[in-house]
Amino acid sequence: MAGAKEKLAAMNARAMALYKADGKTMTAFRGLMQAANREGKVSHAMKEMIATAVAVGRGCEDCIVFHTSEAKAHGATREEFLEVLAVAIEMSGGPGTVYAAKALAAFDEL
């Protein structure tokens, strides 16, 4: 079974292939990502942890790995990450625990 680093590389490769196939849409999506992550009152790490929590609730494994990687790159601590995962579990119940465990495993590996 592939680890978080391999999953992240594979997801990035798929995204690049989609960008090459439809650059206009992917450029627009990238603009949305940049706008949502602009400088503001909420730190980049917290924004990425929020995105991870949404991904946990939605059950999107690629999103979990991507946003976990970004949260960690922006300085999120394991303790902060666990608190945000607790909220994701609260809001998504049993399925959230499954995906929260995957997010924590990715955080620890990355």
Instruction: Report the distance separating Cα 63 and Cα 23, nearest Å.
Output: 20
Kindly indicate the confidence band of residue 2, based on its pLDDT and cuts at 50, 70 and 90. confident
Q: What is the pLDDT of residue 39?
A: 93
Q: What is the mean pLDDT of residues 17-41?
A: 95
Share of the chain above pLDDT 70, in %: 99
Domains of the chain and CATH, by start:
4-109 (1.20.1290.10)
Q: What is the mean pLDDT of residues 83-109?
A: 94
Secondary structure (DSSP) of 78-102: HHHHHHHHHHHHHHHHHHHHHHHHH
In the block, residue with structure tokens 């995906």: 99
Q: Which two tokens stand for residue 52?
A: 């991870």
In the block, residue with structure tokens 């119940």: 93
The model's pLDDT over 19-30, given as tens digits with 9 standing for 90+, comes to: 999 999 999 999
Q: What is the pLDDT of residue 1?
A: 61
Q: Which two tokens stand for residue 32?
A: 């949305």
E strands present in the chain:
none
The model's pLDDT over 49-65, given as tens digits with 9 standing for 90+, comes to: 999 999 999 999 999 99
Which of 110, 108, 106 shows the shortest CA–CA distance to 55? Answer: 106
Half-sphere exposure of 16 (CA within 13 A, CB side): 6
